[in-house]
Amino acid sequence: MQELQSAEYILLHQSFREWLTLLNYSPGTIQVIPGHVREFLHHQEQAGKTQIGQITALDAQAFAGYLKGRKGPRTGRLYSNGHLNKYTQALQLLSRYLRESGQAQMGLSLRWMPPEPRKAAWLTLAEITRLYESTADDVLGVRDRAMLAVYYGCGLRLNEGASLEIKDILLDRGVVHVRNGKGYKERFVPLAAANKKALEYYIQYGRPELLQQHATNVLFIGANRGLPMHTQSIYVRIKQLVKKARIKKKVGTHTLRHSIATHLLQSGMKLERIKDFLGHSSLDSTQIYTHLLNDQR
């Protein structure tokens, strides 16, 4: 942490933080943004500018150029655009504070950096195995394996799985009927033998025990009151399984969707079939999985 030397900057930094607090900014903003302002003020001190009145918009531009060539101390990599935008936000808030407090009328305006494309994470087959092995031998384990059958085995989106009803699991036909997919397009997703078995066992034995005396057609039932699971509850449960499996990647239900698509591509399935399996409206959305594989080679 760079310590400020200018008494004027020290007071500015302190009063700026208090201003953010008075305006009810989030604790995260109050913790991070003043630190970025301190870095900017320290940079001005290094350039021989120790008073607010000496700072100009060009100094903000010079600071931005400095940041673009700087590497994170922990990662050793150049700052991401998202990280750079945090500094832009900090200087914009500083400008607003200086104007509203009557200390200066300068505008420290920086160009917002475009968001960087996010690479979809996916699990290896070994990690998927560990995820299945993390399920318990009780009624919740029966439900967990059914959830994995839906989110990994069938590649459903979070809301698609949460909206499933008993009538949508067509065991006699070996498919899952997805009625409320993205764009309201229905599709029938084939069930592999292991996934069919997991869902059948859950519907026959696990779900009735969880349901207790309640009446609902929703497939996934919560652990305590026999009520349908909401999307957030399902997401949290998957995260708990990931933690139990000691998988270090950031994994959610959509990661499981990416994983099955990648594994199907690895097995030789054509992109057109994967597109239909996932319910993509165009092949462009499915092309991402070819990039995922190429990144691993």
87: tokens are 């500094």
Active site residue 145: no
Report residue 18 as tokens.
């208090």
Query: Is 79 known to be catalytic?
Result: no
Q: Active site includes 270?
A: no
Catalytic residue of the set 257, 258, 263, 275 = 257
* List 13, 36, 143, 254, catalytic entry: 254
Evaluate whether 234 touches 158 at the Cβ level (below 8 Å): yes
Using an 8 Å Cβ cutoff, are 284 and 272 in contact? no
Is residue 257 among the annotated active site residues?
yes
Question: Which residue is catalytic, options 43, 83, 179, 182?
Answer: 182
Rounded to an integer, what is the distance from CA 124 to the centroid of its chain? 19
Q: Is 74 noted as a catalytic residue in this protein?
A: no
Q: Do the strands 187-190 and 169-170 form a parallel or antiparallel pair, or are they unpaired?
A: unpaired
Task: Say which of 157, 207, 258, 263 is annotated catalytic.
Answer: 157
Active site residue 280: yes
Count of C-beta atoms within a 10 Å radius of residue 160: 25
Instruction: Tell the residue number behind the tokens 């930094």, with chain if given.
Output: 13
Which residues are known catalytic residues?
157, 182, 254, 257, 280, 289
